[in-house]
Amino acid sequence: MKDSFGRTISYLRISLTDLCNLRCKYCMPEKGVCKVEHKDVLSLEEIYEVAKVFVSLGVNKIRLTGGEPLTRKGIVGLVDKIAKLDGVKDLAMTTNGILLKKYARDLKLAGLRRVNISLDTLDEKKYSQITRGGRLKDVLEGIEAAKSEGLTPIKINTVLIGGFNVNEIEDFVNLTKTEEIDIRFIELMPIGEASKWAEENFVSNEVILNKVSALEKVERLDPSSPAVYYKLPYAKGRVGIINPISCKFCEYCNRVRLTSQGKLKLCLHSNEEIDLKDKLRKGENLEEIILNAVKSKPESHHLEDGQYISDSMYQIGG
């Protein structure tokens, strides 16, 4: 399926839930998360139905995200069904890793290929602080479980936060020396809770290359990936740098997003959404609706002009 700028849309990110077992300070408020009524959330069967239509239209890569996808009951069954869809070449998940130890084996058996795990610090106390109560040990065990079950290549997503983890950049980069994992540094975006944060918390990713001058650029294999990759000489893993604001890969964007309430988002950075849930429940032809919707995918975002979305990341899935 092509959009009106000739880009092939082959990647669907599905947010399974707005709920989460952590409360990362930049992502979710401590209290007062609006509870969405059960009827307003797509059932697992409905998610599967929508995914099936997307796959029939040419989507071959699906990522499950959230909120925290592993808190959604029935997740393994859904993975199993989506993995069996003819045409799905890559099925991945973005998770905070807390429940990964429990689920890694079942997810692998069900057909999940790989996981991206979010981890912003390697310090136990700081982890508990930034996630408001999470245990670092659970994530580290989750990473080990993912490794031993072969949910690979594993990517660690680290949001760079001024005054919090800039002093850990070298520690994260050093993990790639001996581990076959990619560490991806993401610039904090002023959306959701972070929209209220002070300027000094927003740090340019340039600091990584300044701090670790031994990093060498790696050839870009996938132009639709938002990460630019680097490597330490002889390291097993890579270091990815994601600059959502300054780096525009819109020209190569191949992705669309489905929220847990059944809204189709054609661009992460746009407030425009198309309600697929009601149309699905009314028995309308989703194929035609999706094909038309994709035609309205914007050519690019306008973050450089300060145009940020009103949703939070936990509502979209990143």
Q: State the binding partner of 65 from ligand SF4, ligand SAM, none, CB within 5 to 8 A by kind.
A: ligand SAM
- Min separation Cβ 112 and ligand SAM, Å: 14
Q: How far is CA 45 from CA 68, 77, 192, 265, in A?
A: 19, 10, 29, 20
Binding mask 197-236 for ligand SF4 (x = CB under 6 A): ----------------------------------------
Tokens 């700081």 correspond to 126
Does residue 118 interact with ligand SF4 by CB under 6 A? yes
Cα 171 to chain centroid, rounded: 23
Does residue 27 interact with ligand SF4 by CB under 6 A? yes
Pairing verdict, β 274-275 and 263-265:
antiparallel
Does residue 26 interact with ligand SAM by CB under 6 A? yes
Binding mask 77-96 for ligand SAM (x = CB under 6 A): -----------------xxx
Q: State the binding partner of 191 from ligand SAM, ligand SF4, none, CB within 5 to 8 A by kind.
A: ligand SAM
Q: Which of 12, 16, 20, 309 binds ligand SAM (CB under 6 A)?
A: 20
Does residue 99 interact with ligand SAM by CB under 6 A? no
Using the minimum distance from each CB to ligand SAM, give the nearer residue, 9 or 191: 191
Beta strands in the chain (DSSP E): 11-15, 61-65, 90-95, 114-118, 154-160, 181-187, 216-217, 227-231, 239-242, 255-258, 263-265, 274-275
Q: Which of 17, 42, 47, 67 binds ligand SF4 (CB under 6 A)?
A: 67
The span from the CA of 285 to the CA of 54, in Å, is 12
Q: Which of 9, 20, 50, 215 binds ligand SF4 (CB under 6 A)?
A: 20
Pairing verdict, β 227-231 and 239-242:
antiparallel
End-to-end alpha carbon distance in the chain: 23
Q: State the binding partner of 71 from ligand SAM, ligand SF4, none, CB within 5 to 8 A by kind.
A: none
The span from the CA of 133 to the CA of 149, in Å, is 27
The span from the CA of 134 to the CA of 22, in Å, is 6
- Piece of the chain touching ligand SF4 by CB under 6 A; list 63-71, 263-271, 289-297, 298-306: 63-71
Q: State the binding partner of 53 from ligand SAM, ligand SF4, none, CB within 5 to 8 A by kind.
A: none
Tokens 């509870």 correspond to 35
Handedness of CA 213, 214, 219, 220 (dihedral sign): negative
Q: State the binding partner of 189 from ligand SF4, ligand SAM, none, CB within 5 to 8 A by kind.
A: ligand SAM
Q: Which of 22, 208, 253, 267 binds ligand SF4 (CB under 6 A)?
A: 22
